[in-house]
A and B are shown apart, each in its own frame.
Chain A
Amino acid sequence: MSNVFMGMPTLPVFGDGNLHIEETFPTAAHRELGNTQMRANLRHATHTIRDKRLKVVAELPDWEELRDAGSATKNLVMANLPALLEEFEKNFTARGGIIHWARDAHEANSIVAGLIKEQNTTEVVKVKSMATQEIGLNEYLEEQGISAFETDLAELIVQLGHDKPSHILVPAIHKNRTEVRDIFLAEMPNVDPNLTDEPRLLAMAAREHLRRKFLSAKVAISGANFALADSGTLAVVESEGNGRMCLTLPETLITVMGIEKLLPGKEDLEVFMQLLPRSSTGERMNPYTSLWTGVTEGDGPQNVHLVLMDNGRTAALADKYGRTALNCIRCSACMNVCPVYERTGGHAYGSTYPGPIGAILTPLLTGITSEENSTLPYASSLCGACYDACPVKINIPEILVHLRGEDVDSKRGEKKLPSQMDLMMKGGSWAFSSGKHLGLLEKGLPLGKLAAGRDKKIKALPGIAAGWTQSRDIPAPPSQSFRDWWKKDHTPVAATNKQEK
């Protein structure tokens, strides 16, 4: 297949799965903000991780050079994706691995279910994976009569608590230790009833709970953090050893990975394995990283599969301003520094991908007009903290603004009458087009003072401006504008010079 595009451009094909938000971000955020316990938990956790990250990043004298290399590498990968995918497939296959291609969530789910059924088992162990979360694999397998056991501690907490993940790295970040203990006591069979909320003992309880599953599982399912095209190697980065258990002990290993995860070769992995651990958990290196290339005789799974999945990634790639969102390595540094995420939590974003990266990635994967996803790019004050923290320098604020524009443009055709926003923008454009126009408007300032009344505050504005006064008052405007005051209080410079002479 050639890289030169020959035929008609095809329309973007969007993704499906746990990506469509059912209520608007403001509605969901309003509800989540009422959960004061969750806000306290999030504040504690995000501040802990921010401090750790800053400390380990400051240790490296070449952090910015690593970011530059990481960013350029990802741009290179996206530009050469067809060739790199072919190269990866060739090498992975040559070493005994089997590749499957999936256009969307449903196709990926059914491939995985089919592979599990071939092994005559109804139980699988899983390593934490964003891709399988995105396609709703666990729910699909359940419908097929297959139980998928999450083995990452935080995923286990979420699964046992019949909850949803709220963070891509620490899915149970919204729960504190006491809440975790209560979930374990209620849901974990054979748990010690005297279990305390000490994190070490909670981790031990998870070890006991999962040990038998690991040692007896026939099939494991994983995601992948990186794939190296020139060798056909896959990498999984983890902490607890649950990843190693799943990647080593079962006879069959099925990995689900988005097509954007490729790197050209190991000289690129050395960059990303410095960027990722420091950005995500704030550690110099995560406790365990596993790399495997197809099948190794006598060591680990002998039946090794990889599902390469699109599910909207090519649609994101077609957006010339948004495509760099695919450079994301899922470190979660952007959510840990985001003032909006810190307060609303991840559930408010309604998608597998929360936080600043989720606010751009979700609508890019699904299209801006899908359900309520158009409200996500507004879930930001555009402060830019995410851009500063991003190890691959994704300009998230710029893409947020671009997607807001897409949203406005997509709605333009629907309406026959101009909206309040259209009228305000028109008015603003007229007012700021000349000093005379502005002067004319400023004559109306005393009216505002009148509206403010005795306590000198405007408490409710009409129409869409009501959003502004919903949680704050506007102080009464002054009786004269700054420009008027300046005119009265300052003698023109030329005139002063004349007087001095």
Chain B
Amino acid sequence: MSAKEEILSRITSALRDAPAPGPVPREYRMSSDMPEVELIELLVDRLEDYKAHVDVVDVPQLPATIAERLKDATSYVVPHGIDTTWLPADDARRRIDAPGAVLSVTELDGTDAVLTSSAVSIAESGTIVLDGSGDQGRRAISLVPDHHVCVVPVSSIVRLLPEAMARMDITCPLTWISGPSATSDIELERVEGVHGPRQLDVIIVKGL
């Protein structure tokens, strides 16, 4: 008998006296109708609690805000699908990661910052979801550089995790980000900044 067959047969034998399971009660909150202003306020509060820096801007201010956040970076990487109208006019500091023209891990390690967009955000827990789309890029680019600047369109913010889950394609490589990397391993005290980006700047864009 193969290991698979044997394990499945053990399970079936173990369950022979098991009662039929009851239905799963889903009485928890699955939807909300929080106004946009409050959604933004809640998300900002949660992100700041995680020690992320947050700007809330209108579309016309976005390029200037991005330029400001990237001003100290000697180099930054963007995914190939990023909206180029957002980007600072200068070209010298910019590296583009694209299928067929990917940056090596060493190149990414030598890059100061990364700019991405995002797929969906959960206000209640301060969570931003990246799904690997063209404007977010493959996972390595938002991981290796030490400074992540992340654009969150207001239309992608929901209040609850179940609302966000309905918008996610679960088979994409997903990364849920709630603040900069952190650890609570020493005396259970939270300290920000370990292996992932130590600085997270979030730009929430109204009208996008």
- Which of chain A's residues have a CB closer than 8 A to the CB of B8? 1, 82, 85-86
B173 A291 Cβ-Cβ under 8 A: yes
Assembly CA distance A151 to B196 (angstroms): 12
Cβ–Cβ contact A285 & B173, under 8 A: no
Query: B14 and A298: CB pair below 8 A?
Result: no
With contacts A62-B28, A270-B162, A299-B132 known, is A290 near B195, CB below 8 A? Answer: no
| Contact yes or no, B10 A289, CB < 8 A | no
- Contact residues, A168-189 vs B (CB, 8 A): 170, 172-173, 176-177, 180
Q: Is B27 a contact partner of A62 (Cβ separation < 8 A)?
A: yes
B15 touches A81 (CB 8 A): yes
Interface size on A, residues (CB 8 A): 107
A241 at the interface (CB under 8 A from B): yes
For A248, the chain B residues whose CB sits under 8 A away are 139-140, 143
Interface stretch of the complex, out of B60-68, B69-77, B82-90, B119-127: B119-127
Taking a contact as CB atoms under 8 Å apart, the answer to whether B180 and A315 are in contact is no
Decide: A72 near B2, CB < 8 A? Known: A207-B195, A270-B165: no
Residues of A within 8 A of B23 (CB): 72
Check if A142 is an interface residue, CB within 8 A of chain B.
no
Chain A residues lying within 8 Å of B155, measured Cβ to Cβ, are none
List chain A residues, Cβ under 8 A from B161: 270, 273-274
Chain B residues whose CB sits within 8 angstroms of the CB of A103 once the complex forms: 3, 6-7
Given A65-B27, A270-B165, CB of A317 within 8 Å of CB of B11: yes
Residues B11 and A81 in contact, CB atoms below 8 Å apart: yes
**Number of chain B residues whose Cβ lies closer than 8 Å to a Cβ of chain A:** 78
| A79-B15 contact, Cβ under 8 Å, with A48-B189, A249-B140 | yes
How far is the CB of B88 from the nearest CB of chain A, in Å? 27
| A244 CA / B20 CA spacing, docked (Å) | 39
A203 touching B28 in the complex, CB below 8 Å, given contacts A9-B13, A317-B14: no
Cβ contact within 8 Å between A244 and B196? yes
Contacting residue for A299 out of B3, B171, B173, B180, CB 8 A: B173
Q: Which of A66, A157, A285, A291 contacts B170 (CB 8 A)?
A: A291
Q: CB of B153 within 8 A of chain A?
A: no
Q: Could you tell me the distance between the alpha carbons of A3 and B197 in the complex, rounded to whole angstroms?
A: 47
Most interface-central of B168, B170, B175 (chain A CB within 10 A): B170
Centre residue among A10, A176, A249, A314 by max chain B CB count within 10 A: A314
Asked if A113 is at the interface (CB within 8 A of a chain B CB), the reply is: no
Q: Are the C-beta atoms of B170 and A233 separated by less than 8 Å?
A: yes
Task: Say yes or no: is B191 at the interface (Cβ < 8 Å to chain A).
Answer: yes
Contact B176 A285 (CB under 8 A): yes
Across-interface contacts of A76 in B (CB, < 8 A): 21, 24
Chain B residues with CB under 8 A of A13: 10
- Interface residues of chain B: helix, strand, loop or mixed (majority): loop
Contacts of B187 in A (CB 8 A): 41, 44-45, 48, 176-177, 199
Q: Which residues of B contact A75 (CB under 8 A)?
A: 21-22
| B196 pairs with A66, CB closer than 8 A | no
Which residues in chain B, 1-44, are within 8 Å of chain A measured between CB atoms?
A: 2-18, 20-29
The residue from A1, A9, A211, A292 contacting B173, defined by CB atoms under 8 A apart: A292
Roughly how many angstroms separate A290 CA and B139 CA in the complex, as a whole number? 10
Between B17, B127, B181, the greatest number of chain A beta carbons within 10 A of the residue's beta carbon is seen for B181
Q: Contact at B194–A240, with CB atoms within 8 Å?
A: yes
Residue contact B170 to A242, C-beta cutoff 8 Å:
no
The CA of A374 and the CA of B44, in the complex, are separated in Å by: 51
Give the distance in Å from the alpha carbon of A249 to the alpha carbon of B102 in the complex. 13
Q: Say yes or no for A342: interface residue by CB 8 A criterion.
A: no
**Interface hits, A1-45 → B, CB 8 Å:** 1, 3-5, 7, 9-10, 12-13, 41, 44-45
Knowing A82-B8, A82-B12, A259-B7 are in contact, say whether A287-B178 is a contact too (CB < 8 A). yes
On whether the beta carbons of A284 and B143 are closer than 8 Å, the reply is no
Contact mask for chain A residues 81-119; partner B; CB cutoff 8 A; 1 contact, 0 none: 110011000000001000011110001000000000000
Interface residue from B21, B124, B172 paired with A284 (Cβ < 8 Å): B124
The answer to the question of A325 belonging to the interface, with a C-beta cut-off of 8 Å to chain B, is no
Say whether A72 contacts B25, CB under 8 Å: yes
Q: Does B109 contact A (CB under 8 A)?
A: yes
Residues of B whose CB lies within 8 Å of any CB of A are 2-18, 20-29, 46, 49-50, 99, 102, 105-106, 109, 122, 124-127, 132, 138-140, 143-144, 161-162, 165, 168, 170-197
- A-B pairs with beta carbons under 8 Å apart, 7 shown: A49-B188, A66-B28, A72-B24, A248-B140, A277-B125, A291-B173, A296-B172
Q: Which are the 6 A-B pairs with shortest beta-carbon distances?
A: A241-B196, A318-B14, A241-B195, A314-B10, A240-B194, A241-B181
